[in-house]
Structures are given as C-alpha cells and as structure tokens.
Amino acid sequence: MARTGRNTFPKLKTMNTITRILGMLFVTLQKVVDRCIRDHHISRFAESGRSISIGRNFWVYAPKLIRLGDEVSIAHDVTLRALTSYPWSNPPVTFTPSIRLGDRVFINSYSELSAVGSIELEDDVMLGPGCFITDNSHTFTEAESPARAHPVQYLGPVRIGKGTWIGAHSVVLGNVTIGRHTIVAANSIVNRDLPDYVIAAGAPAKVIKRFNPDTKEW
C-alpha cells in the first residue's frame, strides 16, 4: 500500500502540470481569438480610431455607417444597430442611419444603440449596463396588425454631450439632446432635452440637481 501511495503522487503531480499547461494554452488561444474578432470588427467600421476595445458577443449592423473615435471601449454583449431597412412593414421602408462614438466613449455590457437617422455620443460619454439609446419607434395605426408589421418612424436625432454619464438600464428616446457633463440616474427614461451640468432622474427624467461650473457647487 505504501508503494502504491508513493507511485500515486508523481502521477498526480504530472496530471496537475498537464492541466495547468492546458489551461494556459486555452487562455492564450482565447485571447488570440478575441483579438482576431476585435480586429475584424474594427476593420469594418467607416472610421475607427486608436486603441479600441471590443468585448465578446458584440453585434453590429451596417458597420460602414458607424464611426468610432480613439480609445472607445465596448464591453461584452453590446449591440450597435444602424438600421438601413425595415422589410416587415407594408410598404417596406429604407433609412440612411449614422452612429458616431467620440473619443474615450465607454459602453457597458448589454447596452444597445439603434439608429435609423442619427445617434452621436460625444467624447467621454459613459453608458451604464443595460442602456438603450434609440432615435426611432414603431407607429401603431392599426391595433389589430402584428406589432412588427407597423412602420418604423424616425423621431429625430439623438446627441449626448461630452462627459455625460447615462446610468444603468436607462432609455434615451429619439429627438433628444442631452447636455455636457450631465448625469442621468439609473432606470430613467429621457424623452426630452436635458441641459449641461445637471442630474436628472425618473420616467420621464426630470432635473433634480444643478451644478454651477463657476462656483464648483451643486
């Protein structure tokens, strides 16, 4: 029995070494695959800056209509949707969308941008997880028709100003401009313009606090 025990330890050590090596190889291979996928996505954009980071499970529609600045960071499970057509309505409709992300924009996990017209996130904008930014909506002219048969309507451009932070699970609707250095609290719905240097919260979002950039006080 003692001899069997002595023989077992070298085998376990060998198995542990093999497992560790296989683990390192898997991690290295995953990094290579992730880099190849990222480079593939970057090459398809209309414009792409330096040092762009893209997470896993990234979905992009019509990348030739999307422009990215420098140091853009996109987390996993993010969708950028530049919708060029909607074939399910009668008659089908087509669009000429544009999505632009400025320098150092950060889009957190499970967020989606959906444009049929124009969505612009200026420099240093940050989206929390699960945000939805859209410039369009379905019309409902016939209540008995299936939802997807209703035409998609362009509501107006969306622009989010420099340095603004959109909190987790918030929604920004079409024809909205959000000012610079503004904070939108989590779970808010923004359906109207917001000025610079404010905190807004609620559904619909309302200004609850203002910052004075001259006095540096709220």
At residue 126, the pLDDT reads 99
Q: Considering only CA atoms, which of 136, 55, 57 is closest in space to residue 98?
A: 136
- Judge whether residue 105 has pLDDT over 60: yes
56 CB contacts (<8 Å, ≥6 apart)? 34, 37, 76, 77
C-beta separation of 207 from 213 below 8 A: no
C-beta separation of 150 from 136 below 8 A: no
C-beta separation of 200 from 160 below 8 A: no
At residue 207, the pLDDT reads 98
The residue ranking higher by pLDDT, 126 or 8, is 126
Q: Where are the domains of the chain?
A: 1-44, 48-210
- The β-bridge relationship of strands 66-68 and 132-134 is unpaired
> What mean pLDDT value characterizes the chain?
91
Alpha helices in the chain (DSSP H): 2-44
At residue 3, the pLDDT reads 54
Question: Mean pLDDT across the stretch 91-103?
Answer: 95
Q: Report the first-to-last Cα separation within the chain, whole angstroms.
A: 76
Q: Considering only CA atoms, which of 138, 132, 153, 151 is closest in space to residue 80?
A: 132
pLDDT cut 90: percent of the chain above it: 67
130 CB contacts (<8 Å, ≥6 apart)? 108, 109, 110, 111, 168, 169
At residue 4, the pLDDT reads 54
Question: Mean pLDDT across the stretch 85-96?
Answer: 88
pLDDT digits (tens, 9 = 90+) for 142-184: 777 888 888 899 999 999 999 999 999 999 999 999 999 999 9
Question: Mean pLDDT across the stretch 15-24?
Answer: 78
pLDDT cut 70: percent of the chain above it: 91
Q: Any idea which fold 48-210 has?
A: UDP N-Acetylglucosamine Acyltransferase; domain 1 (2.160.10)
